[in-house]
């Protein structure tokens, strides 16, 4: 199957009526190629009458683990729970410190706080937006127990140095892979470096469900069995609870939908990479573009640029009927919810990223011609 045909052919006619506008995303169009299979699977699940922790979840867990060459995968309710349960599985003492990037989405930091741990923010590289390994070591104290990396926007972190630091200091590594389905660093998939790889299948992800869903991959059978307990009220056997657990189960219907889309993940990623190549080759030097490096297989969940006049650029593109988004407009250290939880509130690199970043259209719904159009309009921006 050509990686272009499932997406471009069904969308061509639908898009003709709205050719004057380029959306940032359109979930209905994104899922259109899978609709008939979704309906068949819905009927199948309804016919079976089993909706929680059944065969569809078991099959998806195995298929997702196999995709990563991993021994174990555990389906959970969402990406935040995937992070929380990964931390809980480690059994860290309350008040222990977890190093996390200062420019991540707040969910990563919330997972640490929800577990009674202390988030310690490390600045990212301005060129990759991912945690800077050089910023990690100075933050390590006797209370540090883990590094939580975030493969932001679809690009893996520089995992070689990160893993070296973790090994040297005896730290656990939890990977937030919510935006990095299929991303690789030196041919190794995101989520397979550390102790846990936590995934979100929020509908906009490269592998997206039709609602909230998540998963954790891990290496240890002990961790796998504990995660299965934690997601299900702490229970291995019905009505018998061995640990304090949660209600965080991937439901049968979302698992069934994800099983349909998982075989298309590589094709989706390749399409987005082709669009990103157009941006990389065509955008002029007034925009700071993502670094292209052969060590990194970027899957471009988000294609972002930095520009000092970001808000003006966003309005300019909207005036030209091109929709964009901002990931994210408020830095974590500026969020009211985190006041009192952080060591300090001065993170200049994160501040610059959050003030200047703009996410451009880069979805499987977009054609190459549309992205060329975006490039042409952007290069005329009087910035």
Number of Cα atoms under 13 Å in the Cβ half of residue 185: 21
How would you classify the pairing of strands 196-200 and 172-176? parallel
- Sequence-distant (6+) residues with CB within 8 A of 86 are 111, 174, 195, 196, 198, 216, 218, 227
Nearest of 148, 159, 147, 223 to residue 189 by alpha carbon: 159
Say how far apart CA 302 and CA 331 lie, in whole Å: 17
H/E segment holding residue 75: strand 72-76
d(CA 110, CA 312): 31
Catalytic residue among 28, 48, 143, 205: 205
238 labelled catalytic: no
Give Cβ neighbours of residue 92 (< 8 Å, ≥ 6 apart): 98, 115, 117, 145, 146
Pairing of strands 214-218, 196-200: antiparallel
Two tokens at 279?
A: 């941006």
Instruction: Give the catalytic positions in this structure.
Output: 205
């Amino acid at each position: 199957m050509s990686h272009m045909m499932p997406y471009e052919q069904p969308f061509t006619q639908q898009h003709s009526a709205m050719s004057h506008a380029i959306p940032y995303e359109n979930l209905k169009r994104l899922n259109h190629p899978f609709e008939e299979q979704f309906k068949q699977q819905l009927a199948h699940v309804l016919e079976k009458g089993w909706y929680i922790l059944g065969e569809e979840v078991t099959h998806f867990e195995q298929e997702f683990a196999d995709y990563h060459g991993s021994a174990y995968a555990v389906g959970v309710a969402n990406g935040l729970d995937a992070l929380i349960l990964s931390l809980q599985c480690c059994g860290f003492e309350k008040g222990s410190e977890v190093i996390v990037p200062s420019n991540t989405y707040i969910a990563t930091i919330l997972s640490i706080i929800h577990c009674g741990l202390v988030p310690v923010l490390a600045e990212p590289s301005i060129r990759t937006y991912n945690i800077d390994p050089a910023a990690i070591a100075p933050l390590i104290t006797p209370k540090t127990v883990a590094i939580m990396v975030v493969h932001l926007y679809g690009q893996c972190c520089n995992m070689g140095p990160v893993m070296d630091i973790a090994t040297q200091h005896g730290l656990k590594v939890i990977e937030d892979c919510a935006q990095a389905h299929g991303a690789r660093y030196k041919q190794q998939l995101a989520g397979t470096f550390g102790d846990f790889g936590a995934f979100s299948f929020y509908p906009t992800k490269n592998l997206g469900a039709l609602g909230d869903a998540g998963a954790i991959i891990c290496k240890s059978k002990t961790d796998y069995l504990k995660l299965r307990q934690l997601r299900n009220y702490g229970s291995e056997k019905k009505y018998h609870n061995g640990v304090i657990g949660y209600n965080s189960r991937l439901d049968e219907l979302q698992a069934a939908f994800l099983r349909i889309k998982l075989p298309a993940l590589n094709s989706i990623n390749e399409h987005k990479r082709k669009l990103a190549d157009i941006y990389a080759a065509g955008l002029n030097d007034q925009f700071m573009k993502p670094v292209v490096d052969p060590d990194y297989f970027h899957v471009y969940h988000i294609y972002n640029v930095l520009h000092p006049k970001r808000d003006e650029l966003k309005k300019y593109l909207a005036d030209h009927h091109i929709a964009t988004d901002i990931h994210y407009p408020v830095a974590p250290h500026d969020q009211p919810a985190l006041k009192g939880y952080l060591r300090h509130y001065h993170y200049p690199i994160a501040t610059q990223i959050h003030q200047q970043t703009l996410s451009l259209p880069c979805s499987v719904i977009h054609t190459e011609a549309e992205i060329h159009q975006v490039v042409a309009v952007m290069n005329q921006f009087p910035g």
